[in-house]
Amino acid sequence: MTLLLALILVPALTALAIVFAGNSKQVKILSAAGMSIQLLQSVYLLYAFLAERSSGNTEPVLFYNRFAWYSSLHISFDIGVDGISVAMIVLTAIVIFTGIFASWEVEEQYKEFFISLIVLATGVFGFFISLDLFVMFLFFELAVIPMYLLIGIWGSGKKEYSAMKLTLMLMAGSALLVVGILGIYFHSNVNGHHSFNILELSGQQFGIDMQRIFFPLTFIGFGVIGALFPFHTWSPDGHSSAPTAVSMLHAGVLMKLGGYGCLKVAIWLMPQAAHELAWIFLILTSISVIYGALGVISQTDLKYINAYSSVSHCGLVLFALLMLNKTATNGAVIQMISHGLMTALFFALIGMLYSRTHTRTVHEMGGLMKVLPFLSVCYVIAGLASLGLPGLSGFVAEMTIFVGAFQHTDWFHRFITIIAISSIVVTAVYILRVVGTLLMGPVKNETYLKFHQATWYEKLATVTLIAGIIIIGIAPLWLSDMIMESLGAILD
């Protein structure tokens, strides 16, 4: 219980401590220290969660605690975690930890940068532990707003446009969520009063008419941040303009709030409408998957490439959730984690390459393998994970998703699954093409020979992420079991 509270308090206090820090060195050490504690806490949470489960505790939510807040509206600060939240928390902790090291070279307004970054992370941690729709929504918006300043001030390219577009689109999504949340609240009746508590709400039987209205609102509301077609357009602009750590955190974690919310709020609370309306959203998500993948092919900027590929991969998450069976949903959660690690690694590497070559255009680079062997190998690993090579996390996720999707035997699901699967081929094409142009061949520029090799902080960031990718790739069963146990409550 105190462990979960500490998950929000540690980043919040770290951000507060940075206010009083002196120079850039102190700020970075403080951030790194805070986020290391956060990472250790998260791993300990994972351990404690698994220990509790293996000792036979089958409660749907562990470490549950309730703090009264706005009692007149029955809003309380409810926290607790299930297997999915634990997995997401560990992912977030890894990404923010590596994000701090990937931003080691930020010198412009460093204090404000690290504060905004850590506030953003606080919002994400809060979102994953909260079980009250109001509190969840609060943390959701808290995670979105620092984004505006992070992209607007420290971004590159047409940053002001991108920052505004991203913020407004995500806020429009959360505006739909307000309607959805309040609709759920006022249609609930728990012991004679309304409730925001997800656990209490999950026991409610909402009428199908109510579900037909509020399921789409909630699903689209969360779907916007999960890059649901046609609301994905903020993502390429936002990711390409954002500074490295922000791209990492945003593509790696923030986009997962969408999938997580769709599962925990839209699908869990309004299952009938989910079954009834899934086909509409399946069409939209499969467009995301295939359109994202095809979109990459025409891109030449490394960040745009990765942004479109994120649209495709996150589309796959929502696609799998809409299959509404345990296997596919399990795959969706693994895909969230796998994509989180992989895309964070990609963006970190792009940032590191950019700081040396000062370009992100693929054709202007070449032969990097010869001058920067360490970073190049990391890039290849990220690429292989992205195209689903067995032994790395991407394979586990996509395999599970498609096995789950094929459990539906009607022609519609079959057809749409085949379309989604075909994105794998496209992914292979663009990944291999980029890797070939970027890393292989002769060294494009004489100045490349003077590049300094990867520094300790760059190595730390990349190795941590790669470790995560490989662990899931080689030993996915514990993760998949942990998620599977939690899915029982949600999908039955």
Partner 1 sequence: MTWNELLLMRHEWTLIGLALVLIILEIGLSDEQKNRITISASLLMASITIVGFIPAEHGSIFGGMYVTDPIRILMKNILNIGALIIFLQSNAWLSKASMKNRITEFYLLLVSSLIGVNYMISAGHFLMFYLGLELLTIPIAALAAYEQYNSKSAEAGIKLILSSAFSSAILLFGLSVLYGATGNLYFAGFSFTGSLVTVLGFIFFFSGLAFKISIVPFHLWTADVYEGSPTSVTSYLSVVSKGAAVFVLAILLFTLFRVIQPVWRDVLYATAILTMTIGNLFAIRQQNLKRFLAFSSIAQAGFILLGVINGGGLGMATVIYFVLMYVFSNLAAFGVVQTVEQSTGKLNIDDYNGFYKTNPKLSLTMMLALFSLAGIPPLAGFFGKFFLFTAVAENGFYTLLLVAVLNTVISLYYYLLVVKAMFINKSESPIPVITSDGFMRTSLLIAATGIIVLGFYSPVFDYIMELCTTY
Least Cα distance to 279 among 329, 335, 216, 232 occurs for 216
Q: Is 171 in the site for partner 1 (CB under 8 A)?
A: yes
Residue with Cβ nearer partner 1 (261 or 468)? 261
- Helical packing angle, 411-439 and 393-405, nearest 10°: 160
Nearest approach in angstroms of CB 148 to partner 1 is 6
Q: Which of 138, 199, 380, 489 binds partner 1 (CB under 8 A)?
A: 138
241 binds partner 1 (CB under 8 A): no
Q: Is 24 in the site for partner 1 (CB under 8 A)?
A: no
Of 51 and 178, which CB lies nearer to partner 1 in the complex structure?
178
Nearest distance from C-beta of residue 171 to partner 1, angstroms: 5
Two tokens, residue 229: 């077609």
Q: Any idea which residue has 């602009």 for tokens? A: 237
145 contributes a contact to partner 1 by CB under 8 A: yes
CA nearest neighbour of 254 among 379, 179, 144, 153: 144
Does 149 contact partner 1 by CB under 8 A?
yes
To partner 1, the closest distance from the beta carbon of 319 in angstroms equals 27
The sign of the torsion formed by the CA atoms of 68, 74, 80, 86 equals: negative
Mind giving me the DSSP string for 289-300?
Answer: HHHHHHHHHT--
**Distance (Å, whole) CA 10 – CA 89:** 14
State in angstroms the smallest separation of the CB of 155 from partner 1.
9
Interaction of residue 55 with partner 1, rule CB under 8 A = no
- Residue 15 binding partner 1, by CB under 8 A: no
The interface region with partner 1, picked from 22-30, 179-187, 447-455, 474-482 by CB under 8 A, is 179-187
Instruction: Check if the beta carbon of residue 459 is closer than 8 Å to that of residue 335.
Output: no
Q: What mask of x and - would describe binding to partner 1 in positions 182 to 201, judged by CB under 8 A?
A: xx-xx---------------
The residue range among 79-87, 133-141, 320-328, 329-337 that interacts with partner 1, by the rule CB under 8 A, is: 133-141
Do the Cβ atoms of 385 and 476 come closer than 8 Å? no
Q: What is d(CA 155, CA 153) in angstroms, rounded to the nearest whole number?
A: 6
Closest distance between partner 1 and the C-beta of residue 152, in Å?
A: 4
**Contact window for partner 1 (CB under 8 A) among 132-140, 232-240, 339-347, 473-481:** 132-140
Residue 308: DSSP 8-state: H
Q: For the purposes of burial, counting CB atoms within 10 Å of the CB of 477, is it exposed (0-12), middle (13-18) or buried (19 or more)? A: exposed
- Closer to partner 1 at the Cβ: 14 or 343? 14
Are 221 and 236 in contact by the 8 Å Cβ rule? The answer is: no
Applying CB under 8 A, among 37, 48, 142, 294 the residue interacting with partner 1 is 142
Q: To the nearest whole angstrom, how small is the minimum distance from the Cβ of residue 109 to partner 1? A: 9
Task: Extract the tokens encoding 62.
Answer: 């562990």
Q: Is 5 in the site for partner 1 (CB under 8 A)?
A: no
* CA–CA distances in Å: residue 359 to residues 206, 355, 362: 54, 8, 8
Q: Pick from 37, 43, 50, 172: which binds partner 1 (CB under 8 A)?
A: 172
Torsion of CA 386, 390, 396, 398, to 10 degrees: 50
Which residues lie across from 190 on neighbouring strands?
A: 193
Question: Using CB under 8 A as the criterion, which residues of the chain lie in contact with partner 1 when the complex forms?
Answer: 69-73, 75, 134, 137-139, 141-142, 145, 148-149, 152-153, 160, 163-164, 167-168, 171-172, 175-176, 178-179, 182-183, 185-186, 213
